[in-house]
A and B are shown apart, each in its own frame.
Chain A
Amino acid sequence: MSTAPVTATGAAPRTLRGARLPKWSPWAIAAGAVVVAVVLGLVADMDNPAQLGLIAAILFVLGTYGIATRVEGRRQAKDRVATSLVWVCFLLAVFPLASLLWETVRQGVKDLDFYFLSHSMGVVADTETGGGIYHAILGTLEQVGLATVVAVPVGVLTAVYLVEYGRGKLAQAVTFFVDVMTGIPSIVAGLFVLSFWILILDMGYSGFAGSLALAILMMPIVVRSTEEMLKLVPNELREASLALGVPKWRTILKVVLPTSIGGITTGIMLAVARITGETAPVLLLVWGTNFINTNPFKDPQASLPLYIYQQYANSAGYGAAYDRAWAAALTLIAIVMILNLVARGIARWKSPR
């Protein structure tokens, strides 16, 4: 940093800034890199666009560094290289993620119609066309609904404990283990319910067993988000209510919770969206079926993520099953995205409080 920026023009007048590349130079260098890469590809007989893209990207970075070093100096050149690397990172990441969404939509719309949504796989063999996901949607709704009913009261009450009452060792332990619990792999939650509910209590595979595992996965998420929301409630509100002689529990129920209800709802919906896509515990505990089973407490049920997996795994390479899997994947993504968007909508709508 001690050396002054060296200007390429040498005799340039003393200005506050060193010489700079014109604004269009990155584009020009990029175009040059692509041209050179294509020529190289023709010479070396490569036709893989990914390979050519890679070569072009490397040429672009090297070219930028070289030219910028000559014109603007090393520090500026490094800055430009960093900028282009950050852009490369961004493009690298966007590519697969865009492909994921694009492929799901493109392949998913083939089978997705009202028939698909309103029929089960009843007597349809995996290799045949036809059939649908009605039984799977039903199973998912029931399992997620039950899990929500179990997890939300526990989660919200725990958050209330942590924010309104919690002090000392117990609260610290709960906070820490809630954090750790967020990271439990879903399959481990499934194995726990398996060992406890099915192997020891001998309850059999059912939708409810799956709900238990989903509830375990959901609880820490609900605690976390609710806790954040309760902390945002101004203490003045609590104090005003307490000063009027209102008991603490009524203060919490009538003042604290209603104030933060928007944020709490958002958190719950995000948690619901998260567990809707969980496959592993459902695979272990609900088992899956091709038929409509409306009773979540008895006998195996289907579920949307499990349906995708089974269509994929049992397809034996037949396109019909793949098409169904894609259509179900599109449905699942749509459900999850709608839940997410609505949740964020609620957050935005309720936020100016």
Chain B
Amino acid sequence: MDTTTQNTEQPEQPGDAEQPPPTTPAPAPATAEEKRASRGATRPGDRVFLGLSRGSGIFLLVIMAAIAAFLAYRASIAISKDHGNFLTTLEWNTNVDPPVFGIAVLAFGTVVSSIIAMALAVPVAVGIALFITHYSPRKLGGTLAYVIDLLAAVPSIVYGLWGALVLVPHMEGLFGWLDKYFGWTGIFEWQQGAPRSLLTVGILLAIMILPVITNVSREVFRQVPRMHEEAALALGATRWEVIRMSVLPFGRSGVISASMLGLGRALGETMAVATVLSPTFKINASLLDPGGGTFAQNIASKFGEATDTGRDALIASGLVLFVITLLVNGAARMIIARRKEYSGANA
């Protein structure tokens, strides 16, 4: 077996396979794809197999296109029936005769809760990732990484149940404190209602996306070239200076894309928000009082009693969510892809 590999040109190392276009044994110019395919097609088995696997790839693309197309189709039905402005109307009355609905409140709630979640989760997640890679004893770090991996797998409905039954009662103290000392800002005014507001949702979302951001950041921090760190140490840098001068600059784009993956998850989170938020369809300047909703939560809670128009309206709001998450995730992936090239050239 080994002798055969001697005859083929430049056997690839498995580690080299990281580049996006995976290399197949014989190096051929990119234009040779057609030739290769036709050569493979001389055998019926190859033709069938290539057809099947390429078909699956195309099938995935078709699904993505179909998602966009069908959602857009149903959304256009809904928007044509809408007697309000779909983007700015502040109500969601789809079951009355001239249906009036708009996504302004949902957009507000989604953006605000996600911002809160990001503001809380990103620094903490970076801290944990640093803790695991640079601060903790090695064994503890390994175990921790494992546990956080597992926590990323906890279903969102369980977070929702915990949030509604455990977190919400514990929020009253924080809400009272915020109201007492920061109530004058208007953002933290509290009418003493149940603390099921956007702030609670943001905190719960932060807890949920923490494992996601931590996992990706940890991977990036682990890839920091050992030489960079040792060079800094050799110059007499303290551990913090090593992190600031070599680890964080190297990991910055990785952390950004990790955060955007977390953001995508926070934007689309449904059940945890639906269980915790008490839905009040209005924009409220205070984060502590009921107000707002999110796209996903609104779909889940309004779906049960929605009529035909109501369903289409919910689908229209889902389309908006789809587009937003698409943009966020696409941007995150592009940053990751660019970073890969960069670090590949650097390594």
Contacts and interface: CB of A to CB of B under 8 A. Distances in A.
Given A75-B238, A90-B128, A183 B325 contact: yes
A283 B303 contact: yes
A187 B173 contact: no
B233 interface: no
A196 B296 CA distance: 19
B59 A154 contact: yes
A179 interface: yes
A277 B315 CA distance: 23
Interface string B188-227: 0000000000000000000100110010000000000000
Contact of A322 (B50, B55, B165): B165
A187 B270 contact: yes
Interface string A179-217: 111111111110110111001100000000000000010
Contact of B158 (A99, A167, A332): A332
Contacts, number: 314
B94 to A, nearest CB: 15
A188 B154 contact: no
A322 B130 CA distance: 38
Chain B interface main SS type: helix
A86 B130 contact: yes
A350 interface: no
Contacts of B178: none
B150 interface: yes
B346 interface: no
Contacts of A104: 158, 161-162
A239 B25 contact: yes
A70 interface: no
A69 interface: no
B45 interface: yes
B61 to A, nearest CB: 6
B127 A89 contact: yes
A223 B53 CA distance: 12
A333 B155 contact: yes
Contact of A185 (B58, B74, B166, B270): B270
Contact of A163 (B4, B22, B322): B22
B102 interface: no
Nearest to A278: B155
A99 B162 contact: yes
Interface stretch (B63-71, B84-92, B111-119, B281-289): B63-71
B22 A231 contact: yes
A332 B155 CA distance: 8
B21 A167 contact: yes
A174 to B, nearest CB: 4
B17 interface: yes
A25 B53 CA distance: 63
A51 B177 CA distance: 9
Contacts of A231: 14, 17-18, 22
Given A234-B14, A277-B155, A284 B54 contact: no
B40 interface: yes
Contact of A329 (B24, B127, B161): B161
Contact of B153 (A162, A182, A336): A336
Contacts of B61: 173-174, 177
Interface residues of B, number: 111
A194 B197 CA distance: 29
Contacts of B73: 195
A63 B192 CA distance: 36
Given A280-B271, A340-B150, A219 B60 contact: yes
Nearest to B8: A239
A87 interface: yes
A274 B270 CA distance: 15
Given A195-B70, A279-B271, A333-B155, A247 B296 contact: no
A240 interface: yes
Given A170-B54, A278-B155, A309-B157, A185 B240 contact: no
B270 A279 contact: yes
Given A93-B210, A158-B60, A183-B329, A191 B240 contact: no
B245 to A, nearest CB: 11
A166 interface: yes
Contacts of A187: 268, 270, 296, 299-300, 318, 321
Contacts of B45: 247, 249-250
A280 B296 contact: yes
Interface string B36-58: 01001001011011101111111
Contacts of A283: 271, 300, 303
Contacts of B43: 247, 249
B341 interface: no
A283 B60 CA distance: 24
A57 B174 CA distance: 17
B70 A192 contact: yes
Interface in A230-288: 231-236, 238-240, 242-244, 247-250, 252-253, 270, 273-274, 276-280, 283-284
A166 B17 CA distance: 13
B4 A240 contact: yes
Contacts of A48: 173
A305 B271 CA distance: 10
Nearest to B324: A185
Nearest to B336: A179
Contact of A162 (B22, B52, B174, B241): B22
B71 A195 contact: yes
A219 B61 CA distance: 12
Interface in A145-165: 153-155, 157-158, 160-165
6 contacts: A48-B173, A86-B135, A166-B57, A180-B326, A180-B330, A249-B43
Interface of B: 1-2, 4-5, 7-8, 11-12, 14, 17-18, 20-25, 30, 33, 37, 40, 43, 45-46, 48-50, 52-61, 63-64, 66-67, 70-71, 73-74, 123-128, 130-131, 135-136, 149-151, 153-162, 164-167, 173-174, 177, 207, 210-211, 214, 238-241, 243, 261, 264-265, 267-271, 274-275, 296, 299-300, 303, 311, 314-315, 318, 321-322, 325-326, 328-330, 332-333
4 closest A-B pairs (Cβ-Cβ)?
A: A277-B155, A185-B268, A89-B127, A183-B329
Given A88-B127, A104-B158, A337-B153, 4 more contacts: A83-B240, A180-B326, A216-B67, A336-B155
